[in-house]
Chains A and B, each alone.
Chain A
Amino acid sequence: MRSFWRTIGRDTLRDIALVCLADAIVGASFGAVTVSGGLHPWVPVAMSVLVFAGGAQFAAAGVVLAGGGAAAAVVAGLVLNARLLPYGFAVADVVEGRWWTRLPGAHLITDESVAFALRQHGWERRRASFWACGLALFLCWNAAVVAGALMHDTAAFGLDAVFPAVLLALVLPALADRGTRNAALLGAVVAVVATPFLPAGLPVLLALAGLVLAGRPALTMPGTGPAPEVR
């Protein structure tokens, strides 16, 4: 166990702790916002344990709270989580092993754990960082969501602004890329314009039409890290 911590290094452990703290704040707001929006407390908790992907959880719950159907919420969440597919290939070597490490390991694939793994050199360090970040995040995220769901009186903080604020914070880094920004702006216009005419939940999916402006991938070397910065 001692060598496990030494493999990771003190700097990385500190960075992991900081990321856990930041995500715990987001998780607590997820629990609080969904419960005060009218969902039963087990909903955000079950989502956090089973889905374990902040962006998709916010997106799916946001569609439902806006009056959209469950199917639209699931599709929105799955579109967001499709980015986990290339992540899985990027960290496949550190997740590999017996089935009892591979199955839980796959569940710990997130933007953060993949970023920490890819930042390290050498298989040992990559693997240790991935597992340390993934496990710590899983514990912090779910504990924070439970805490948020239990003390859900967010009316004081201006509940209606919390959803867009968190989502905006999640997406901002990705908008630095011009193709992504153009696609996102076109999609946002399409969604807002379509809102008066379509049932809730669908306008957001229609925004994917913005992908026609996605452009070409920026020139990055394979294996240098995940391109998206969306959680």
Chain B
Amino acid sequence: MPLLAIAALAAGTYAFRLAGPVFRHRLRISGRVQHLLSVAAAVLLTALVATAALTQGHGFAGWARPAKACGSARSSRPGRP
């Protein structure tokens, strides 16, 4: 992971964070957009879970990994406020 990639991810993330405090009197985020952003996050994470658990390189990785992942996810689920 090159430093430039980390910097780009960090800069973009910070821009998302700072937009609200800076533009809150001039902009409003519609409920529809807010919903799509949150669903997009869930879609991406689920796809990562599926590809990381089921594939290895360009092929199927077998069932041992997803089984192990489900087991440890159940026992290590982080707490939430």
Interface residue ranges, A against B (CB under 8 Å): 15-16, 18-19, 21-23, 25-26, 39, 43, 46-47, 50-53, 55-56, 58-64, 66-67, 70-71, 73-74, 76-93, 95-96, 102-103, 105-107, 109, 112, 115-116, 119, 133, 158, 160-175, 179-180, 183-185, 187-192, 195-197, 200, 203-205, 207-208, 210-211, 214, 216-217, 222, 226-231
* Contact B20 A164, beta carbon cutoff 8 Å: no
- Report the tally of A-B residue pairs with Cβ distances under 8 A: 291
Residue of B nearest to A204 (CB): B47
Whole-angstrom distance from the CB of A141 to the nearest CB of chain B? 12
The docked-state distance in angstroms from the alpha carbon of A31 to that of B20 is 30
Q: Which of B21, B44, B58, B71 contacts A96 (CB 8 A)?
A: B21
Closest B residue to A170 using CB positions: B45
Question: Contact partner of A105 among B5, B21, B50, B72, CB < 8 A?
Answer: B21
- Told that A67-B57, A175-B42, A231-B78 touch, could you supply 17 new A-B pairs with CB distance under 8 A? A16-B81, A25-B76, A43-B6, A47-B10, A50-B7, A51-B13, A80-B41, A88-B20, A89-B24, A92-B24, A96-B21, A109-B20, A162-B72, A168-B73, A187-B44, A195-B55, A217-B34
CB-CB under 8 A for A161 and B44, given A169-B78, A211-B36: no
In contact, A51 and B81 (Cβ under 8 angstroms): no
Residues in chain B near residue A173, CB distance under 8 A = 80
A115 touches B1 (CB 8 A): no
Of B7, B24, B42, B73, which one neighbours A228 at CB under 8 angstroms?
B42
